[in-house]
Structure 1
Amino acid sequence: MNQANNERFLELAQFLRTRRARISPEQAGLPGGGRRRTPGLRRGEVALLSGVSVDWYTWLEQARSIQVSAQVLESIARALQLDPDERKHLFQLALQQPPADLNPAESSISPTLQGFLDQQGISPAYVTDQRLNIVGWNSMANRIYGNYEAMSPRERSTVWRSFTSPYVRQMLQENWETHARHRLAQFRASYGKFAGDPWWMELIEDLNQASPEFREWWPQHDVLNGPEGKKINHHPSAGMLVFDQISFLVAGSPHLTVTINIPSKDDDTISRLIKLQSN
């Protein structure tokens, strides 16, 4: 085991011991009583609550290099009553990756984030969740991409719209395939965290039925997490709009992604957006 991994497992062991020490048997739903040499739960009690063997949990607290699954980490997080930040820290130490969010299907965003979107002016901006559903937007995004308020939850799926909406195809024209493949690769990368989840399986099956392109491209297993870059839209009334796209995660809500399409200064996009905004 190299030095970096050794330090990581030591940190994990210390973290587990401190979390175990702060929980009484009564708080964990176990019978109390009896004298204890140390505060909190015993290793065997954490193992019992987590559904693992005492030896295995002891090795974990001894900083041994052992394999641990996300499912077992979730059990340990529940047994130790970790809050969301502590749970995230546990996964980073044990697996060097954050946990899949337990509530990925939020249908709204905070007033602060909505205010940020509204301040983007003529730049269409929106927020997507881990499922690539639109969960927040500003008025310019509504004017360009469609009336999100009037859409069903399925229609606010960026993947579903990319493959089934005639309006999206009209907006993207010759760039549609590049966009659709990019969106599908993002969807495949996100699906890796939730493989087998019923919501994802239902959408995949429906897309297989609705789109021949999806049926052809889905088995190719392309994955992508990077930014989309330059984007060209052909709006039915405003004409051609050219944007530079930037995306970033929301601090405190890393399952939410903010995307802002910044109007290009090298053409008439800004004047066209100002005119569209005034109509």
Structure 2
Amino acid sequence: MDRIQLADFLKVRRAAIRPGDAGLPEGPRRRTPGLRRQEVAQLAGISVEYYIRLEQARGPKPSRQVLGALARALMLDRDQRFHLFHLVDELPESDSSREVPPTIRNLLAGLQDFPAYAVDAGYEMLAWNAKANLLMGYLDRLSPQERNILRTSFTGPHAPAQLADPRAQAFLQDCVSDLRASLARSPGDTRLRALVDELLRTSPEFGEMWADHRVAVRRVQTKSVVHGQFGPLEFDCQVLDVPGTAVRLVVYVPQPDSPTAAAFAHMSASAPVILETPSRPA
């Protein structure tokens, strides 16, 4: 915990807030800009003495609850909130929104050359473009229950065949390692925890992979598949986080002028269609 940097950050943010923005009277007798220490403490629901000690770089390490209260009192945006948590060596509050932003939907629709889809941290398919549907051949026929890649791969009707394929096993191990990394970043995510508990109950193969305790965020990996119509395909699977959300964009990118690039180019040029998972309770 960096007490000096924390104290400086709190003082700078306190001075940047006008009382009126925090719902407080401006008053004619203010001698300093921004909020008073007493006002920040009141807004955060903590004692004035405790807050003063934080600004004097001699306070104890704040709890996550206090950090959240200070972030609200000081009207911090997402990046400032993350910085506050990092100053005290705490994991920031996780991004939990699974709604695909309009810009990402438009980006998917405009990716004419590359199959692409959006997933959340638990590998729930949220949206995809027509090229991805043409390549995979089944996305538009999936039921809501089948749209979770991990659930389908480990417990679906085709799971035994997938789990017998070494390439599929390697891919799923990478997904499980990535899932563990996501849970470590967001330990309070009840949706992720429920998915892990469900798969531990229903799939011995998932249990074996989970027991390996491998942790690795998926970023980019090379995949090789044999497609029934287009034959052998090889491409890089690039995973891109969408800041401020729990959404990740996955894009299949072949090498330029490769047979896979030619196969992608020969796929139907029908207008991209975006499909989204219906909202379900956590």
Taking structure 1 as the reference length, the TM-score comes to 0.77
* 1:115-126 equivalence runs, <5 A: 115-126=106-117
Query: Are 1:246 and 1:261, in contact at CA under 8 Å, matched by a contact in 2?
Result: yes
Query: Are 2:113 and 2:265, in contact at CA under 8 Å, matched by a contact in 1?
Result: yes
* 1:124-135 equivalence runs, <5 A: 124-135=115-126
Counterpart selection for 1:220 from 190, 212, 215: 212
Gaps of 5+ in 2: 271-282
- The amino acid that maps onto 2:198 is D
* 1:1-279 equivalence runs, <5 A: 5=2, 9-21=3-15, 22-24=17-19, 28=22, 35-64=29-58, 66-95=60-89, 98-101=92-95, 103-106=96-99, 108-110=100-102, 112-166=103-157, 173-250=165-242, 252-253=243-244, 255-264=246-255, 268-277=259-268
Does 188-197 or 53-62 show the bigger shift? 53-62
RMSD value over aligned CA atoms? 3.4
Query: Are 1:170 and 1:234, in contact at CA under 8 Å, matched by a contact in 2?
Result: no
Gaps of 5+ in 1: none
CA distance in structure 2 between the aligned counterparts of 1:168 and 1:115, rounded to whole angstroms = 33
Higher relative contact order (CA 8 A, sep 6+): 2
The alpha carbon displacement at 1:28 in A equals 4.4
**Any idea what SS the aligned residue of 1:117 has?**
helix
Query: Are 1:92 and 1:98, in contact at CA under 8 Å, matched by a contact in 2?
Result: yes
Does 187-196 or 254-263 show the bigger shift? 254-263
Deviations 1:183-227 (A, max 9, x none): 011111101133243322321222123321112222332211143
Distance of aligned partners of 1:64 and 1:236 in 2 relative to their CA distance in 1, 3 Å threshold: farther
CA distance in structure 2 between the aligned counterparts of 1:135 and 1:96, rounded to whole angstroms = 30
Q: Quick one: percent identity of the two aligned structures?
A: 37
The alpha carbon displacement at 1:266 in A equals 8.1
CA distance in structure 1 between the aligned counterparts of 2:186 and 2:105, rounded to whole angstroms = 27
CA distance in structure 2 between the aligned counterparts of 1:48 and 1:223, rounded to whole angstroms = 41
The alpha carbon displacement at 1:34 in A equals 9.3
Matched pairs, number = 268
Taking structure 2 as the reference length, the TM-score comes to 0.76
Aligned to 2:274: none
**Any idea what SS the aligned residue of 2:117 has?**
strand
- The amino acid that maps onto 2:200 is N
- The amino acid that maps onto 2:173 is R
Query: Are 2:115 and 2:132, in contact at CA under 8 Å, matched by a contact in 1?
Result: yes
CA distance in structure 2 between the aligned counterparts of 1:142 and 1:225, rounded to whole angstroms = 25
CA distance in structure 2 between the aligned counterparts of 1:184 and 1:63, rounded to whole angstroms = 41
